[in-house]
């Protein structure tokens, strides 16, 4: 018996699979066992044709391929290469078990790329389970971005078999590199792009909202923009993703993995994703789902980026309440009869809404056509637990003819990067919005005047425990933007100005 290693996706993570083979006496047959999907069983015809095209003669034996562990469902055409190699190398007196092998076979023996290969190898690399891997030559450029693994690329099955027989393997991997500008913080490089497709300079006025957007970007704080139609809510939301903090190499690879799982081609550009589902979208399309194989939704595609809900009250109550879990825990859990899947969803939530159904409640020149009951019903679509998970609540200013542009995206992005490096240099791992209680105690140090202001706010406004922590974290971000080690009274007062007010 001989074996090689491969993998399959279970949900959104890779599970190692050992491909075993035996050729025994008996009536000629070719069997694959181990909960193999139709795509794997179809490999028998591809493997037969590829081997025959490369001069291999099938012995009159019973060929059995086992995919272990047998209780794990397996799918994908990337098992072809491992299966064909084991059959052809049956008489080779050598242990092959250390090799991971991925690739789909053409009928002529060419080794082809499969969309599952990149997320599988990236996931195994993150789990520290893979070192040497054989892949299609056409996949090398994409896979070379993954650090700490040795890649061996081959174009045809005959080339691979010759390498196994002569033990002549030469690593094909190119040095992992991202050709973009980076900043260094705590000994690690963080990459960013200066290609701003949408610019904050296009927005005239709205200085309070732009300041809040800067704070949201620097600390990854959830933000809700409320204002009359046409005042610039969507413009700010669409540009906010352009000024988010830089990305580590691991985060760039993780974003690329999600894009491949979503059916997109990865660009490896250090830009955070932007997802903006319509309010008519179904819960399954937003959160992901599926009866057998869970598919990633809009919330998953926004991982490490921005999730924008325009006209938040028009989203169904079911969607808004379900969003509370990923906003709080930064993960999505999909439970089905056949499977349970958990995947990361660490995103910056940006919501935009009108003050009332007609949108004119805050307008000084237009009359609101809504009754008090309609306004109350509209605003009550957002529950207190949902609103409690939003750190910054901003009421947009009135549009004036004297309004002028102020900051560009490049300028704001520079401020975000400086705050990001400042936080990393004090030993902080994650963003301010994600700080837990012990980290708040360690990093959110308040001056005595700031403590007095916070105590007064707690007594006056009856702040909840979550609201207190939220204010402290926002104040920490404001202090980071000012390069201040401690949170002062000024920082805390500004953080309090963004708290949610009772209507």
CATH at residue 472 = 1.10.8.60
Domain termination site, one of 107, 138, 166: 166
Mean pLDDT of 447-456: 96
- Domain shared by 446 and 405, yes or no: no
Domain residue limits at 371: 184-416
Q: With respect to residue 425, please indicate whether it lies within any of the assigned structural domains.
A: no
Percent of the chain clearing pLDDT 70 (strictly above): 97
What per-residue confidence (pLDDT) applies to 338? 64
User: If you average pLDDT over residues 244-253, what whole number do you get?
Assistant: 94
Q: Please give the Cα distance from 349 to 302 (Å, whole number).
A: 9
State the number of CA atoms in the 13 A half-sphere of 163 facing the CB: 17
pLDDT of residue 172: 85
DSSP string, 171-209: --PPPP---S-EEEETTEEEE-----SS-GGG--S-HHH
Identify whether 63 is part of a domain: yes
Is residue 399 domain-shared with residue 462, that is, in the same domain? no
pLDDT reading at 233 higher than 60? yes
Domain-ending residue, one of 166, 199, 215: 166
Specify whether 117 is located in the same domain as 154.
Answer: yes
Number of domains in the chain: 3
**Are residues 154 and 114 part of one domain?**
yes
Q: Give 3-state DSSP helix, strand, coil % of the chain, rounded to 5.
A: 40, 20, 40
Residue 177 belongs to a domain: no
pLDDT at 104 > cutoff 90:
yes
Distance CA 197, CA 206 (A): 20
| Inter-CA distances, 346 with 25, 98, 321, Å | 55, 35, 17
- Please say if the pLDDT value at position 278 is more than 90: yes
Question: Looking at the predicted structure, is the pLDDT value of residue 294 above 80?
Answer: no
Strand pairing category for 348-353 and 306-310 = parallel
Res. 257: pLDDT tops 60: yes
173 located within any domain: no
Asked if 224 and 342 sit in the same domain, the reply is yes
Domain boundary, last residue among 356, 388, 416: 416
Average pLDDT across the chain, whole number: 92
Whether 313 maps to a domain, the answer reads: yes
Q: Is 237 inside a domain boundary?
A: yes
Mean pLDDT of 274-296: 85
pLDDT (mean) for 269-282 = 94
220 found inside a domain: yes
Contact present, 232 and 84 (Cβ < 8 Å): no
Structure tokens at 285: 């399309």
Section 151-169 average pLDDT: 94
Query: Do 440 and 404 share a domain, yes or no?
Result: no
Specify whether 194 is located in the same domain as 135: no
pLDDT tens-digit profile of 30-64? 999 999 999 899 999 999 999 999 888 888 899 99
CATH for 68: 3.30.230.10
Same domain, 135 and 206: no
3-state secondary structure of 383: coil
* 452 and 398 together in one domain: no
CATH of the domain at 326: 3.40.50.300
Q: What angle do CA 158, 160, 162 make, to 5 degrees?
A: 70
Are 408 and 441 part of one and the same domain? Answer: no
Supply the pLDDT for residue 334.
79
Q: At what angle do helices 207-219 and 465-481 cross, to 10 degrees?
A: 100
Give the pLDDT band of residue 174 (cuts 50, 70, 90).
Answer: low
| Cα separation, 261 vs 167, whole angstroms | 35
User: CA-CA distance, 118 to 102, in Å (whole number)?
Assistant: 10
Q: What is the pLDDT of residues 345-366, one digit of tens each?
A: 999 999 999 999 999 998 888 8
Q: What's 445's DSSP letter? A: P
- The rounded distance, in Å, linking the Cα atoms of 416 and 241 is 12
Separation CA 361–CA 396 (nearest Å): 12
**Residues near 495 by beta carbon (within 8 Å), at least 6 away in sequence:** 471, 472, 474, 475, 478
- The tokens for 70 are 């047998």
**Helix, strand or coil, per DSSP, at residue 139:** helix
Residue 401 domain-assigned (yes or no): yes
Do 162 and 190 sit in the same domain of this protein? Answer: no
Residues 303 and 221 in one domain: yes
Assess whether pLDDT exceeds 90 at residue 401.
Answer: no
């Amino acid at each position: 018996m001989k074996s090689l290693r491969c993998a399959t996706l279970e949900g959104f993570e890779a599970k190692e699979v050992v491909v075993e083979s035996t050729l025994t006496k008996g009536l000629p047959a070719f069997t694959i066992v181990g909960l193999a999907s139709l795509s794997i069983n179809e490999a028998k015809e591809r493997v037969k044709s590829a081997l025959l095209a490369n001069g291999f003669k099938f012995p009159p034996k019973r060929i059995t391929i086992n995919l272990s562990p047998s209780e794990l469902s397996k799918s994908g055409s990337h098992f072809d290469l491992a299966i064909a190699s084991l059959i052809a190398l049956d008489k080779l007196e050598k242990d092959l078990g250390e090799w991971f092998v991925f690739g789909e076979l053409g009928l002529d023996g060419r080794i082809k790329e499969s969309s599952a290969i990149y997320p599988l190898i990236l996931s195994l690399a993150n789990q520290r389970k893979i070192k040497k891997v054989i892949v299609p030559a056409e996949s090398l450029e994409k896979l070379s971005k993954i650090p700490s693994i040795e890649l061996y690329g081959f174009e045809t099955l005959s080339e691979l078999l010759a390498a196994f027989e002569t033990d002549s393997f030469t690593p094909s991997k190119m040095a992992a590199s991202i050709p973009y500008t980076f900043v260094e913080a705590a000994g690690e490089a963080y990459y960013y792009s200066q290609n701003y497709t949408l610019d904050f300079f296009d927005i005239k006025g709205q200085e309070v909202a732009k300041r809040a957007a800067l704070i949201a970007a620097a600390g990854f704080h959830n933000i809700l923009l409320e204002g009359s139609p046409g005042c610039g809510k969507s413009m700010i939301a669409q540009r906010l993703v352009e000024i988010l903090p830089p990305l580590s190499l691991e985060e760039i690879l993780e974003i690329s993995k999600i894009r491949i799982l979503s059916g997109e081609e990865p660009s490896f550009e250090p830009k955070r994703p932007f997802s903006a589902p319509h309010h008519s979208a179904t819960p399954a399309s937003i959160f992901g789902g599926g009866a057998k194989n869970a598919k990633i939704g809009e919330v998953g595609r926004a991982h490490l980026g921005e999730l924008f809900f325009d006209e938040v009250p028009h989203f169904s109550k079911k969607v808004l309440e379900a969003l509370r879990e990923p906003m709080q825990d930064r993960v999505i859990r999909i439970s089905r009869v056949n499977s349970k899947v958990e995947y990361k969803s660490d995103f910056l939530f940006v919501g935009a809404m009108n003050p009332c159904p007609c949108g004119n409640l805050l307008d000084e020149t237009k009359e609101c056509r809504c009754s008090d009951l309609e306004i109350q019903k509209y605003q009550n679509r957002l529950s207190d637990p949902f609103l409690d998970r939003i750190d910054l609540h901003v009421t947009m200013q009135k549009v004036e003819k004297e309004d002028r542009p102020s900051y560009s995206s490049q300028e704001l992005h520079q401020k975000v990067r400086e705050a990001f490096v400042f936080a990393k240099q004090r030993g902080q791992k994650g963003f301010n919005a994600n700080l837990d209680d012990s980290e708040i105690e360690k990093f959110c140090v308040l001056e005595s005047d700031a403590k007095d202001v916070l105590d007064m706010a707690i007594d006056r406004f009856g702040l909840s425990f979550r609201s207190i922590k939220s204010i402290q974290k926002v104040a920490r971000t404001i202090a980071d933007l000012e390069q201040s080690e401690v949170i002062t009274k000024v920082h805390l007062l500004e953080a309090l100005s963004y708290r949610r007010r009772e209507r």
